[in-house]
Amino acid sequence: MSRETFLFRARDKYLELGLRTRLMGVVNVTPDSFSDGGRYFSPREAIDRCLKIVDEGADLIDIGGESTRPDSRPVSANQELERILPVIEAVRPQVAVMISVDTYKSRVAEEALKAGADLINDISSFRFDPGIAKVVARSEAGVVLMHCRGTPATMHQLPPSTDIIRDVHDGLQIAVNTAYKSGIDRDRIVVDPGIGFGKDAVENLQILNRLRFPEELGLPVLVGPSRKRFIESVLGLPVDQRLVGTVAAAVVAVLNGAHMLRIHDVAEVRQATQVTDAILSEALPE
């Protein structure tokens, strides 16, 4: 199955999407993220991690200073900036890849973009802080609009959706319309169905199996299945033993049209997607 191709722009950079799968490597500069909280909390460790995942083949780096795991506590914009700015400022001169910042706060987004970030990955799709849309538009940054039911504090207390596919599609459509009204160009937007954010295990499986549904939005699709709880529901394994499950979910996402994957295990998923891309194109990598 072929993917539609796009040229994604973020500030003065661009990335071709659809010819091969692009990988967004995760770097959590937090003490409490669900998967690697605390491992890269110091600036030096986070900087080293950024450089390592670029060497492993990441096409983008996604730096976050606040955990959005279930039941996580929000941090102030000042705390978030204290965590991420030293990392962005140190990494920017050393890498050519796009730097994404995982935040929903307009002030954090603005300062991160000034420091050298290229795009904003907003889990709320402008719902938590509507001002972030104007920040993105003014800076000509790229943006990832993710679907999230509820908030990190409430999303796993919600009852199942009556139609999760429709909910995700309609939520993303609202976010995309807001982006356009705010002056964000179409070629600066990626949508993300939000695996694990307010969805139960079966709903996550449904989204991955029916991933073609965002295609009618006419935008590239990012999926973040990495080490998520639905894999534990299938395999009964803790977070540090979910690599094989992550690879399986990543391959299915690519087969179903994902252009980009947000992942922790860059080297391993890179190998899997290279083989998947080769099969889809019926051609060897150049």
Q: What is the mean pLDDT of residues 202-212?
A: 97
The arithmetic mean of pLDDT across residues 148-166, rounded, is 90
pLDDT at 103: 97
Residue 286 domain flag:
no
Instruction: Please give the distance of CA 98 from its chain centroid, rounded to a whole number.
Output: 13
What's residue 286's pLDDT? 78
Residue 34 included in any domain: yes
The 3-state secondary structure of the chain reads: CCCCCEEEEECCEEEEECCCCEEEEEEECCCCCCCCCCCCCCHHHHHHHHHHHHHCCCCEEEEECCCCCCCCCCCCHHHHHHHHHHHHHHHHHHCCCEEEEECCCHHHHHHHHHHCCCEEEECCCCCCCCCHHHHHHHHCCEEEEECCCCCCCCCCCCCCCCCHHHHHHHHHHHHHHHHHHCCCCHHHEEEECCCCCCCCHHHHHHHHHCCCHHHHHCCCEEECCCCCHHHHHHHCCCHHHCHHHHHHHHHHHHHCCCCEEEECCHHHHHHHHHHHHHHHHCCCCC
pLDDT for residue 38 is more than 60: no
Confidence of residue 132 (pLDDT cuts 50, 70, 90): very high
* Cα–Cα distances in angstroms (integers) from residue 246 to residues 26, 58, 232, in the given order: 14, 16, 10
> pTM for the full model?
0.94
- For residue 32, pLDDT over 60 is answered with no
Domain that holds residue 41: 6-281
Task: State residue 97's pLDDT score.
Answer: 98
Q: Which residues pair with 261 in a beta bridge?
A: 23, 223
Place 35 in a pLDDT band, splitting at 50, 70 and 90.
low
Position 230 scores a pLDDT of 97
Place of tokens 């800076």: 139
- pLDDT tens-digit map of 217-237: 999 999 999 999 999 999 999
Is residue 6's pLDDT more than 90? yes
Catalytic residue among 228, 229, 242, 270: 228
- Choice among 20, 242, 262, 270 that is catalytic: 262
pLDDT of residue 39: 60
pLDDT band at 162 (very low <50, low <70, confident <90, very high): very high
Q: Is residue 1 part of a domain?
A: no
Number of domains into which the chain is organized: 1
Examine the residue annotation and report whether 39 is marked as an active-site residue of this protein.
no
Residues 129-155 have a mean pLDDT of: 95
Report the C-alpha gap between 34 and 70 in whole angstroms: 8
Q: What average pLDDT does the chain have? A: 93
Task: Return the percentage of the chain with pLDDT > 70, whole number.
Answer: 95
pLDDT tens-digit map of 47-81: 999 999 999 999 999 999 998 766 667 889 999 99
Q: At residue 186, what are phi and psi to the nearest 5 degrees?
A: -55, -40
Q: Residue 15 sits in a domain of what CATH number?
A: 3.20.20.20
Residue range 254-267: average pLDDT? 97
Q: What was the pLDDT predicted at 20?
A: 96
User: For residue range 80-107, what is the model confidence (pLDDT) as tens digits?
Assistant: 999 999 999 999 999 999 999 999 999 9
83 is catalytic: no
